[in-house]
Each structure stands twice: as structure tokens, then as C-alpha cells.
Amino acid sequence: MEPHERDLITLRLAPDGRYARVARTVVASCASLEGFVADDLGDIRLLVDTAFHTLTDVGRGDVDINVESSVHELAIEMSARRDGDRGWSDPEVRLLDTVASVVGRTRTFAVRDERLIVRVVVRPRSDGEIDVR
């Protein structure tokens, strides 16, 4: 496979829990192309599923997903319109924060232009590496 700079994959899904499956499958497929192994893919699926459901709980409207992939790294950004005063301080966000802190190398929660945005950068684990974050 030829090395590449960065690829950008963009997806917009209706705010229906049934589409969480589509989101996690697409993002995990992107990760697989970058060399992530089965355990990593399971973690990424869990992260995307949790983020999708959190955004449909505290946000409104379509869920936008941007995946920037490069060799051995994935930056996953998911967003939805803010629903009134709801935001990242809502109790429903705790689970997403916990999952993102375990799965991601970095995580960012932001509100920009009335959109709730979560961005998590993940890298595959090395062979034999045990993640104890």
C-alpha cells in the first residue's frame, strides 16, 4: 500500500439510534485500512457508538462524522447541533468522556457555531502492548 498524507471521510447520519451501527462500521473500516487490529477495532466501535448515542441525547438534528486517516492514526470528529442549553456538562456525557479517555490518545470536547463537537485521536496498540491508561 502506498503511503498517503491524510484521507478525509465525511458522513452525515439521521439522529436515529439505528444508524449508530452504520457509523461504527464505517469508522472501524477506516481504522482497519490503517492497520488497526481486532482489539483496536472493538474499542473504536465502542467509542463511535457511545459518541453517536450521546450526541443524539444532548444534541439535535443530523450527526456529522469526519474521519481523518493517516498511517497508523485516526482522528474521529463527531458533531450535532446543540439542543438549547444542553452540552458537554450534562450527566449523559460522563460515559463518553470515560470511553474517549481510554480509547483515545487525545480527546477534545467543544462547542463551536452552536455545534457540540467531540474529537478523539486514536492510534493502534503495538503488538504485545498492554494499555493501562
pLDDT in tens, 53-68: 999 999 999 999 999 9
What CATH superfamily is the domain 7-122?
Answer: Histidine kinase-like ATPase, C-terminal domain (3.30.565.10)
pLDDT digits (tens, 9 = 90+) for 14-69: 999 999 999 999 999 999 988 899 999 999 999 999 999 999 999 999 999 999 98
Query: Pick from 62, 1, 63: which is nearest to 27 by CA?
Result: 63
Given pLDDT bands bounded at 50, 70 and 90, which one contains residue 115? very high
Q: Which three cell numbers stand for residue 6?
A: 491524510
Mean pLDDT lowest for which of 1-5, 91-95, 110-114, 126-130?
126-130
16, three cell numbers: 436515529
pLDDT exceeds cutoff 80 at 4:
no
Over the chain, what is the mean pLDDT? Answer: 90
Tell which residue, 46, 58, 63, has the closest CA to residue 83.
58
pLDDT above 80 (res 124): yes
DSSP-H helix ranges across the chain: 20-33, 38-58, 94-103
* pTM, entire model: 0.89
Residue 116 has a pLDDT of 97
Closest by CA to 93, choosing from 70, 112, 69, 117, is 117
